[in-house]
Amino acid sequence: MGSMAMPAYALPKSHQDLMEKSLVETDSEVAEIMKREIQRQRESIVLIASENFTSRAVFDALGSPMSNKYSEGYPGARYYGGNQHIDTIELTCQARALKAFSLDSEQWGVNVQISAVSTYFETFPYRVNLETGIIDYDQLEQNALMYRPKCLVAGTSAYCRLIDYARMRKIADLVGAYLIVDMAHISGLIAAGVIPSPFEHADVVTTTTHKSLRGPRGAMIFFRKGVRSTDAKTGKQLMYDLEGPINFSVFPGHQGGPHNHTITALAVALKQATTPEFKQYQQQVIDNAKALEHELKRLGHKLVADGTDSHMVLLDLRNKSLDGARVEAVLEQVNIACNKNSIPGDKSALTPCGIRIGAPAMTTRGFGVKDFERVAYYIDQCISLCKQVQGSLPKEANKLKDFKAKVADDSVPEILSLRKEIAEWAGSFPLPV
């Protein structure tokens, strides 16, 4: 064919611009919305226990060409070609996940592709002691013996104390159940070794990756491998058979192609989770949550389970004759983000009497113990404001929608003052963007 001519771009220059120009240049509307959201994050105190700020390195991986590749299947068994580097990053992510939690690859495996959930199971809840706020393990054991579940699930999305995994294992064994631990909220604390790990006792461990682990929005399922039990009479070994069913359930059971940019970003976050700096951060999360506990108690507030051993506290508002939705609304108006939450003894999940307050996000931004003591002061002020506003509304206009409208109409000077003060204070701390 002779010498090759210089390649010619077959589409117009405007198309090339469409592909190569920045977001600001091509979509100012979306860019402006993102700008406002970044400003909101910068000027807010984020206390939502399930939120965090991820690192710039994780952002770099999320916004990368790894997003371009379609890769249904698993490493070495894909439905499409061209996946050699995708295979490498997924295997790297798996290896880093096992390393982050000090797991032996002969005894544990992990699926890092999860991006969706589904529920098909009949469930039966277990309770905490209404006086102590601690899991009632004796009642749990009785219920397990009565209902003979196939799985016993331990989780901490609204539980601030440590779970007795050994006791849960014993109860599961009484009925031949698998012990599944959802460590979504506390996986970062576990990886850092600042609270006990469930892996010694669990059969399956699940976690999201964007909470205390400080990664992208994704999830992982860890599963046992090898010998599950040995028959005392015959000596015959019963082997775990979890890897195949779990992987098949993820793909093709519930998902199609994995989000390769997310897996890449997760690999970055998992490497960060093995650093001394990450362990120091997680210890500071614990210290900050304890500071919240002590200061809120000093200010006369009641906490579920009388405090915390982890990353958050659960505030019981019943002794203030308030509900979580109203307190959440006032806090939001002064640039403090938290969430209403059910507490033991609530009559309805629709009108919970608690708020959940987490330390991970603002610890990432550099808050220390003294800062969280100041946060407790702001929360106390907002609870007082909540009672003040509630008392000022007429009986015929005293529903939640009326309350929210009142606190949002800029007519309460204390709210305006606190909003300005908090925006300036929060804005003085770095935001990794």
Question: Do 46 and 361 touch, CB atoms closer than 8 A?
Answer: yes
CA dihedral 413, 415, 420, 422 (to 10 degrees): 150
Please give the structure tokens belonging to residue 193.
């070794």
> In Å, how far from its chain's centre is CA 323?
24
Alpha carbons 10 and 75: distance in angstroms, whole number: 35
Say which DSSP state 106 is in. Answer: T
Q: Answer yes or no: 206 catalytic.
A: no
What b-and-e string marks burial along 196-226, b requiring 16 or more CB atoms within 10 Å of the CB?
bbbbebbbbbbbbbbbbbbbbebbbbbbbbe
Q: Which residues contact 337 (CB under 8 A, 6 or more apart)?
A: 44, 45, 46, 47, 48, 51, 331
Catalytic residue among 42, 70, 170, 243: 70
Alpha carbons 67 and 29: distance in angstroms, whole number: 23
Catalytic residue among 69, 72, 225, 414: 72
* Torsion sign over Cα 111, 112, 118, 124: positive
Alpha carbons 68 and 82: distance in angstroms, whole number: 11
Catalytic residue among 51, 182, 203, 316: 182
Can you give the three-state secondary structure of 224-282, one letter per residue? ECCEEEECCCCCCEEECCCHHHHHHHHHHHHCCCCCHHHHHHHHHHHHHCCCHHHHHHH
Catalytic residue among 42, 69, 170, 217: 217
Catalytic residue among 207, 208, 308, 363: 208
Q: Answer yes or no: 92 catalytic.
A: no
Q: Answer yes or no: 182 catalytic.
A: yes
Q: Answer yes or no: 72 catalytic.
A: yes
Alpha carbons 54 and 210: distance in angstroms, whole number: 8
Q: Which residues contact 399 (CB under 8 A, 6 or more apart)?
A: none
Catalytic residue among 78, 96, 161, 211: 211
Question: Do 113 and 255 touch, CB atoms closer than 8 A?
Answer: yes
The H-assigned helical ranges of 299-356 are 324-333
DSSP-based three-state secondary structure for 91: helix
Q: How many CA atoms lie within 13 A of 283 on its CB side?
A: 7
Q: Answer yes or no: 217 catalytic.
A: yes
Question: Do 196 and 165 touch, CB atoms closer than 8 A?
Answer: yes
**Residues carrying an active site annotation:** 70, 72, 182, 208, 211, 217
